[in-house]
Homo-oligomer: A and B are copies of this chain.
């Protein structure tokens, strides 16, 4: 700031922005609802974004459930599951179910993967309709739909029939357009750079 007029102009500008933001925020009050949030794309951050919804819920003592449609720990320990189980053991209100099979190239058994994905979806519906649960994360649901041949129609109907105050989040590459169409929030994680392309392996604390 070089002189008093500049300071005055800048303060007037910031006051206008604040007034507009405060008004917009006031206008949105009362429109709270249970959201369906969808994270897809090829970049890093899909499961992580859904997991941090879990931690934000736990910050406020709200009950959460996570259903993992793909078992991630064939090659590495699953840091997400390890952390949730640590917290559950300390009394945080978490349920965590790893009911899907592994990636099809790891399990080498597509029919079994399909049966396990169907079981995972049944568990998910029980959690979504539980009135005490505020958030249900369906981790790698999109992969189960594409690779484990989980049927889309009941999934679409189930997510749309969620209770009014239940948030649902789904993750994974290749989200079907029908889910994108009914979601309240969709972020595509766009991969600009990834260390795997530079020959750097998956590392503890980063990928798992």
Which residues does A use to contact B, with CB under 8 Å?
Answer: 1, 10-11, 14-15, 17-18, 21, 25, 27-29, 31-33, 35, 37, 39, 41, 43-49, 51-53, 55-60, 62, 75, 77, 79-80, 82-83, 86, 90, 104-106, 108, 110-111, 134-135, 167, 180, 183-196, 198-206, 208
Contact = CB atoms under 8 A, between A and B. Distances in A.
A167 B83 contact: no
5 contacts: A35-B206, A45-B189, A56-B83, A60-B77, A190-B190
Contact of A187 (B45, B55, B60, B202): B45
Residue among A33, A45, A185, A192 with the highest chain B CB neighbour number at 10 A: A45
A53 B17 contact: no
B55 A80 contact: yes
A200 B167 CA distance: 13
Contacts of A57: 79, 205
Contacts of A29: 201
Contacts of A86: 58-59
Nearest to A85: B59
Contacts of A35: 195, 200, 203, 206
Given A11-B108, A48-B49, A49-B44, A27 B199 contact: yes
A195 to B, nearest CB: 5
Contacts of A45: 39, 45-46, 48-49, 187, 189
B43 A59 contact: no
A47 B185 CA distance: 16
A59 B41 contact: no
Contacts of A208: 56
Contacts of A190: 41, 187-190
A5 to B, nearest CB: 15
Nearest to A181: B193
Contacts of A77: 59-60
